[in-house]
């Protein structure tokens, strides 16, 4: 079984993990990280071929992959039920799915409500829906939820107004949820990557990507494993006293 980055082989032994948007990039790297640390991992992504390719070498008794649209509430509910049936109650939820308008991004005055609604659906509403599914059981037995934001929400990148709004919505949602769930032993945190070498950045307008890279003090673009390591830590018992926090992984582009 393959895995990315440095791993503690048994850190998540006996744990069930959900990863949304896990066929590529950060989602795939994080799913492999959890598998490498002993977790049972359920992944949903609309790219079924990508899922098959990314996890062809993984142990199938520890892995469930489902092809489905994360903006469809019924699909998410079915995926959650399949996960529980296969692996038992969910211990960790990584709400990774989300995207900007990508090639359809535009200056705000030229943008369309259709694109706003898509970006909010996939980046915020999917996070809220999957969280709503896992929270009732987590209130009874504890758990960890890690939500995906972006440093674009903090920097305010031009031509990404809808994306920045959705991703800052993830931060506000996570803080409120963290406060609600803390008495039940559930932690909720946010990771907010900057420029990471993924397919999403490949389709950003060149001028947007160049601005982001030029503004990154570290001087290089991060890799998906740079994010996966932090997600794994936040999902572990080592992070039990950390909740409601947002962690930027962006080479210093935005410093809290």
Q: Sketch the domain layout of the chain as residue ranges.
A: 16-245
Per-residue pLDDT tens for 55-74?
988 768 999 999 999 999 99
Residue tagged active-site, from 34, 79, 163, 247: 163
Verify whether residue 241 is a known catalytic residue: no
Residue 167's pLDDT band (boundaries 50, 70, 90)?
Answer: very high
pTM over 0.85: yes
CATH architecture observed for domain 16-245: 3-Layer(aba) Sandwich (3.40)
Q: Measured between alpha carbons, how far is 146 from 82 in angstroms, rounded to an integer? A: 21
Per-residue pLDDT tens for 74-131?
999 999 999 999 999 999 999 999 987 566 888 878 888 899 999 999 999 999 999 9
Least Cα distance to 90 among 167, 14, 148 occurs for 14
């Amino acid at each position: 079984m393959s895995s990315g980055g440095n791993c503690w082989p048994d850190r998540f032994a006996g744990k069930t993990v959900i990863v949304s948007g896990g066929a590529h990039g950060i989602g795939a790297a994080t799913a492999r990280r959890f598998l490498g640390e002993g977790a049972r991992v359920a992944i949903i992504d609309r790219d079924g071929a990508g899922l098959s390719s990314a996890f062809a070498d993984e142990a199938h008794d520890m892995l469930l992959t489902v092809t489905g649209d994360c903006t469809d509430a019924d699909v998410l509910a079915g995926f959650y039920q399949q996960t529980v049936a296969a692996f038992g109650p969910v211990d960790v939820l990584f709400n990774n799915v989300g995207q900007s308008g990508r090639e359809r991004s535009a200056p705000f005055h030229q943008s369309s409500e259709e694109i706003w609604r898509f970006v909010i659906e996939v980046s915020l509403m999917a996070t809220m829906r999957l969280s709503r599914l896992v929270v009732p059981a987590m209130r009874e037995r504890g758990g960890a939820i890690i939500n995906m934001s972006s440093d674009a929400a903090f920097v305010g990148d031009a031509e990404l107004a809808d994306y920045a709004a959705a991703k800052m919505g993830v931060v506000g949602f996570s803080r409120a949820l963290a406060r609600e769930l803390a008495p039940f032993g559930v932690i909720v945190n946010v990771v907010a990557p900057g420029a990471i070498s993924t397919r999403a950045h490949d389709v950003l307008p060149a001028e947007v990507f160049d601005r982001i890279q030029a503004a990154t003090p570290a001087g290089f673009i991060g890799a998906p494993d740079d994010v996966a390591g932090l997600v794994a830590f936040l999902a572990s018992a080592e992070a039990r006293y950390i909740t409601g926090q947002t962690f930027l992984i962006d080479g210093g582009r935005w410093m809290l």
